Structure 1
Amino acid sequence: MKVVLRLAAFGAAGASGIAPNLAVMWLLTSLGVHYLAAAVAATEVAILWNFALVDLWVYRTRRSSARGWVRLARFAVLNNLDLAVRLPLLTVLVSYWAMPELLANVVTLGFAFVLRFAVTERFIYRAPSMLPAWRTTSS
């Protein structure tokens, strides 16, 4: 699959993850949970959702020999680092620009999309030609 097609598929998987993300955030904020804590919980749900789609659909032919839980751990680390960048932006959008919480959350997700794809493409699901020589030779 060419990089443009992977980007589109990655975007479709990510876009489908917005629904569970917003549902969890809406539910938690409706129950009185602060929007930042709700965003963290919603992100964790979306990470699992997105990983399943990305691993099974987008990168099914580029999975490394790493076990599924290792790929999930890498994917989770990336997305939680992304969350650490998104939370301050979310705070600015909600607290200083008076943007509604759910809309601000979508804006931050879109903001980080290309970066998440680039890191996923390069470090989590590397093409065999990008692996060190010792990892591509068979014993």
Structure 2
Amino acid sequence: MNRLWRLAGFGLAGASGLLPNLAVMWLLTSLGTHYLAAAVAATEVAIVWNFVLIDLWVYRRRRTSARWPMRLTRFAVLNNLDLAIRLPLLTLLVGTFRLHELAANLVTLAAAFVLRFAVTERFIYRAPRATATLRRWRGGGGVASTRAPARSAPRASGHKGLSYAPSARPAP
């Protein structure tokens, strides 16, 4: 899956996470919970929802870098750092601009989308490195060799030019 398709899948998974996020926030605020506390709880529910979809659907071929508990931990840390940035913006939108809590929450989620994708792509689901069979390594230095593959021995063809075509004779 190329980056554009992963971005679209990430967006669809994130968009589907809006449902549990907004539902939990609506439920908690209607029960009298302050909108900031409700936003934190709603985000935690959405983190798990989004992780499951993203891990199983968007990055299923890149899950080799770490086991799922480590991927979930990294994903949760990223999204909680994101929340620490979004909460002041949420306060500004609700307190200063008098935007409804749910609408303000939606705005902050949309604003953080591209950054979350970039960090998830780079640090949580890194692309697999080239396999050792595709690289030739020089004496332990860790530097990839740029030497061409070994060629077959020149054929004794009676002319002065060298031919690198495979020889019909068996090798000694």
TM range (shorter): over 0.9
Q: Match of 2:43?
A: 43
SS in 2 for 1:48: helix
Which residues in structure 2 correspond to 1:1-139 (within 5 Å)?
Answer: 1-129=1-129, 137=132
Q: CA deviation at 1:87?
A: 0.1
Question: How many equivalent residue pairs?
Answer: 133
Any stretches of 5+ residues in structure 1 without a counterpart?
none
TM-fit CA distance, 1:128? 1.2
Which stretches of structure 1, 4 residues or more, deviate above 6 A after TM superposition?
none
Q: CA deviation at 1:2?
A: 0.6
Q: Contact between 2:65 and 2:125, CA under 8 Å: does it hold in 1?
A: no
- State the identity %: 75
Shift in Å, 1:64: 2.2
Structure ranking higher on relative contact order (CA contacts 8 Å, 6+ apart): 1
Q: Tell me which protein shows more helix as a share of its residues.
A: 1
CA deviation string 1:22-75 (max 9, x = no partner): 000000000000000000000000000000000000000011241111100000
The Cα shift of 1:137 comes to: 4.8
Deviations 1:83-110 (A, max 9, x none): 0000000000000000000000000000
- Please state whether the residue corresponding to 2:32 is helix, strand or coil: coil
For 2:85 and 2:62, locate their aligned partners in 1 and report how far apart those are by CA, in whole Å: 28
TM-score when scaled to structure 1?
A: 0.93
Unpaired runs of at least 5, structure 2: 134-172
Aligned residues: CA RMSD: 1.3
Asked which structure has the greater CA Rg, the reply is: 2
What is the rounded CA distance, in whole Å, between the counterparts of 1:50 and 1:56 in structure 2? 10
